[in-house]
Chain A
């Protein structure tokens, strides 16, 4: 993350990290499925995100997913807080005009291990919405493709590929991986087929953040 991004994100981060149990102005009725303490903290996080002009629906869904999966209150609060911070970082990298769908996909890409610089480069490379390229990037890394290889491939495709082409590219990589190909090699092969140069020998990285 660049110093500029860090400075821009600081107020948002501070608000999200400091958000605690408070009486939210109008708590989303769907959060009634959470216990009282968890609901109060999640509502405060949602309010902070709203104040920072971040999308709040992904946060609500993250909390509801935890409730349905019977996760502990601490786990739910931690997951919602982490997603809110990722959404803030995604917005800093993609710009204030990014749509909620783009921010959600960008947060997933960041969580998978992509750098904010990659997100910013994608923004400059592609005029169309970035939801699918960012999601494909996150999915490739989740499939075991090194971040550098996945980013190079998606960046190479993003400028001219349609959403459907990107999804097909991801399927081709996952198919080759399922057939036994190393993830980086599968990505390079699919990228070559798509006339994109990708360095198959890119530094291997463990998917996800430490």
Chain B
């Protein structure tokens, strides 16, 4: 047989209403235990932050907030990618070439070609060492260049040590220099 439910409830309520006897020394024991714990007040801000980062947290996010966060991450990733990846192909490196002409009787020699707009004033050659030797140094990117020596403002000379450019248009001689890509 079971007791009626109302009697059971009444009995439990009476039991819960009885005054609780607490040990008078309880407060003292609790405080001693607390004081025995390591003090948190001495931790630096960095230690607190590290502790916060190491503890699990619950983050509440609305769908709209989630989308905004995803968009922000995408933008950051795009900026990082743009900043670290060159947009243009790397420029080929230029190579330095020395042009030499033996012209014992010349008083002025210019190097002119596709690399200096055929401007006789841009690359004057220097007399070096022997009085007959004229030199100029020019950095050039890979490509095929036509050039010539302009002597004393009136005479055109092709480079005797380079292939001849077949010039059917202007008549004056030119030479060809081909600069490879370094392969």
Contacts and interface: CB of A to CB of B under 8 A. Distances in A.
A125 to B, nearest CB: 15
Given A58-B114, A101-B143, A129 B172 contact: no
B163 A131 contact: no
A174 interface: yes
B119 interface: yes
Contacts of B118: 61, 64-65, 67-69
B114 A79 contact: no
A68 B178 contact: no
Contacts of B178: 105, 131-132, 135-136, 139, 167
Main secondary structure of the interface of B (DSSP, over half): loop
B176 interface: yes
A75 B169 contact: yes
Contacts of B143: 100-101, 104-105, 131
A118 B57 CA distance: 70
Contacts of A134: 144
A202 interface: no
Given A61-B117, A135-B178, A162-B183, A66 B142 contact: no
Given A65-B146, A142-B164, A129 B181 contact: yes
Interface residues of A, number: 43
Contacts of B120: 68
Nearest to B177: A135
Contact of B142 (A30, A101, A167): A101
Interface residues of B, number: 29
Given A129-B181, A139-B176, A104 B166 contact: no
A104 B146 CA distance: 11
Contacts of B168: 208
Given A101-B142, A142-B163, A131 B180 contact: yes
B176 A135 contact: yes
Nearest to B163: A139
Given A30-B117, A65-B146, A131-B142, A143 B163 contact: yes
B170 A79 contact: yes
Interface in B100-131: 112, 114, 117-120
Contact of A68 (B119, B163, B165, B180): B119
Given A60-B117, A68-B119, 15 more contacts: A61-B118, A65-B118, A68-B112, A68-B118, A68-B120, A69-B156, A100-B143, A104-B143, A108-B144, A131-B181, A132-B181, A138-B176, A139-B178, A163-B180, A167-B178
Interface of B: 112, 114, 117-120, 141-144, 146, 150, 156, 163-166, 168-172, 174, 176, 178, 180-183
18 contacts: A64-B118, A68-B150, A76-B169, A100-B143, A101-B142, A101-B143, A104-B144, A111-B166, A128-B181, A128-B183, A129-B181, A131-B144, A131-B178, A136-B178, A142-B176, A143-B163, A163-B180, A163-B181
